[in-house]
Structure 1
């Protein structure tokens, strides 16, 4: 094992441990809030699904990517590789979908009552409707990614395939160029749709907050503002989360598309792609915790 492989393995290990701890702690925090107070914000429900999806990402490929970078390869058969890639794709899709849903929900929530989204605002404010949307997100990704086992196989597979791509601990296979291209278009369409909706929601929230602050500037007593400060804080937190997601996702999408479409790529490129893909699941729980006043800070706990 070379020093670069050891360094990459340690980076993957640190990222996986930090990401799992952050997401498990955030999930634990919201579970405690639910059982002690009996209620959660609607946005908390979406974040819970987001953390579960992030945990699936780490448990499916984060640990295996760490072992592979440390030189432990060829330990998964066909079924193992297919299951790992399927769970990872479902987790990634739900993470993308729930982040998109979170942005749309908050954009409707803070929209003015006289806006054209007023009717949709009534529907999105319902906790049950949001819960059904999240369940639908899980179902869509589970069905859509059911074709993944057709394109993944273990390293030990001896069948003769038209094309074969190296994914370090597993292999990707393409039966023919038409079916492979259709699969890429299917997954890209879902990604582009969610990303487009997030950019629209992010732009809408920035515009609404900007107009609101302009109105507040004309009022000397800002505590009489029609927009509550907790709602603005939640919106700003989601904007930070969305900015983080879009930045990491854009880089991840470029690297993933390169690895998927081109056969001649190095192990280093595959590792960098996996590393960037796991950046958002690693960072997102800490972004949310740092901006949630209901989570006690270490400094405040020491002062008590």
Structure 2
């Protein structure tokens, strides 16, 4: 009979393998189009960064979590722990920030066509790359303390003075350090989730108004037609809803984990939920609209990426 640890290990490796393949497919697709001179949409620049961040989350957490679930100890030395965990924290923060940027960008794009919004829409594409660069810089600086406070493989430090992760130990010597650490990482997350929720609600409202207007004006002619803006917005809504759902579930489980004696299944469950969105998101993007499939057709030389 297969043990629970074996099942956990298989689940983590399966999650990592499937998710990395999906994200690498998007990275390859967008990179091929960029280096062959194809014109990418502004939103594609955000999507490729999201795929990169999600790939880093999966590779820096899921693989080693799977090894730990199988009972493999001290896979990483002190330097390895610092590098892997630093990459994980940066990538996790990037995934949240890029999703926030994506939701905000889409809210601006589908906003009403009045003079104020038109000017903003014209400027937004120029701000995408600087915004992405600022996200990278912010999260790399925010997590720089990880390189100091990670003390090596699990079990190498004083257990009473460490907040243990499955394969590395994080030094939190005082209650003040714990509280400061919690505020430092919870505040940006809270701001991003609030912003994502607000922009998502705004987009749902705009979609509802658009749907009612189309029904009234084009009831017969366009009753079964899906407009490109609507399809794109629905894809972003599905992606953002998936992110928020997994994020909130992970936060609930993390709260339970910190309020009681830590159990291995809680730690593994929290890690698995944290990696669910990076695994699912590329398949949501691929399956929610025809644009990715058009890009795939371009790679195989069959047609233009922007033909309808």
TM-score, structure 1 as length reference: 0.89
Partner Cα separation in structure 2 for residue 200 and residue 108 of structure 1: 12
Contact persistence 1:237–1:288 (CA under 8 A): yes
1:292 matches 2:301: no
> CA–CA distance in 1 between the matches of 2:265 and 2:160?
24
Deviations 1:263-296 (CA, angstroms, capped at 9, x unpaired): 7211111000000000000000000001231344
Which residue is equivalent to 1:202?
A: 200
Kindly report the root-mean-square deviation, in angstroms, between the aligned alpha carbons of the 2 structures: 2.6
Structure-2 separation of matches of 1:35 and 1:221: 43
Alignment of 1:87-106 (within 5 A): 87-106=87-106
Residue by residue over 1:217-271, the C-alpha shift from the partner in whole angstroms, topping out at 9 and shown as x without a partner, is 111367689xx92122111100000110110010112223444x45721111100
| Matched residue, 1:59 | 59
The CA deviation at 1:152 is: 2.5
CA 1:140 to 1:83, structure 2 compared with 1: closer, same or farther past 3 Å?
Answer: same
SS in 2 for 1:168: coil
Aligned with residue 229 of structure 1, among 208, 227, 230: 227
1:85-234 equivalent positions in 2, closer than 5 A? 85-114=85-114, 117-124=117-124, 126=125, 128-155=126-153, 160=158, 163-220=161-218, 229-234=227-232
SS at match of 1:40: coil
SS in 1 for 2:170: strand
C-alpha deviation, 1:173, in angstroms: 2.1
**Match of residue 40 from structure 1:** 40
| Ranges in structure 2 where 5+ consecutive residues have no aligned partner | 301-308
1:210 and 1:169 map into 2 onto residues whose CA distance is: 48
Look up the match of 1:72: 72
**How many residues matched?**
295
Q: 4+ runs of 1 displaced by more than 6 Å?
A: 221-225
C-alpha distance in structure 2 between counterparts of 1:280 and 1:156, whole Å: 26
- Partners of 2:161 and 2:187 lie apart in 1 by 23
* Aligned counterpart, 1:252: 250
159 and 219 in structure 1: CA distance in 2 versus 1, 3 angstrom threshold: closer
Shift of 1:81: 1.4
8 Å contact from structure 2 (residues 162, 173) kept in 1 = no
Q: Secondary structure at the match of 1:111?
A: coil
Aligned counterpart for 1:240 among listed residues 232, 238, 241 = 238
Q: Determine if contact 2:151/2:157 at 8 Å carries over to the other structure.
A: no
Paired position in structure 2 for 1:26: 26
